[in-house]
Each structure stands twice: as C-alpha cells, then as structure tokens.
Amino acid sequence: MEINTNMFGDKEMMTDALSAQKFITDNYNIWANECATQQIKSELMNILNEEHQIQMELFTEMSKRGWYPVQAAQQPQIDQVKQKYPPQVQ
C-alpha cells in the first residue's frame, strides 16, 4: 500500500504559513496592548516586528510566484480613501 505524502505543494504550504503568520501577529498585537510593563511591551513589540517581517517575506514570495495577486490601486481610489480617512491632528 502506497501512502501519498505529497498532499501539499509549495503553494499550499506557503498559504498555510502566511495564514499562521497573520494569526501570530494578531495575537502578539493583543498581548503587546495588554502589557503591564514597558520592558515586556518592548520585547513583544520586537517579536511582533520580526513576525511581520516573516509575513512580508512570505507574501512577497507568493506574489512573485503569482499565488497572491494584488491589484494596484488607481489614483482616484487613493484620493477617495484620503478623503474618507483624513489625517488625525493631535
């Protein structure tokens, strides 16, 4: 009896990894918001930044391979968003 161990190809594995990175960064963000000390928050923010970097690397590689296509925004779309969400003055 032969077992098929190749259930996932590169695309499926990278999609799964990207999904996991999104989950991880969501959780680190929550944890960083709930820190009791600045030292702990700083460490979590460092980890969060590293995880975002990994996420970006996965996304970039998938995009290069055509596995995560994105459409460039046209200037009218950009202008519309700028009008809807103007910069907040503090």
Q: What pLDDT is recorded for position 6?
A: 64
pLDDT of residue 72: 86
CA max distance for the chain: 68
> In 6-39, which positions are buried (b, 16+ CB within 10 angstroms) versus exposed (e)?
eeeeeeeebbebbeebeebbeebeeebeeeeeee
> What are the pLDDT digits (tens) for 8-62?
899 999 999 999 999 999 999 999 999 999 999 999 999 999 999 999 999 999 9
Q: How confident is the model at residue 89, as a pLDDT? A: 73
Looking up tokens 């077992």 gives 3
- pLDDT at residue 88 in the model: 80
Instruction: Give the other-Cβ count within 10 Å of 86's Cβ.
Output: 7
Q: Across residues 57-70, what is the average pLDDT? A: 94
Other C-beta atoms closer than 10 Å to the C-beta of 66 total 8
Residue 7 has pLDDT above 90, yes or no: no
- Contact (Cβ atoms closer than 8 angstroms) between residue 48 and residue 4: no
pLDDT of residue 64: 95
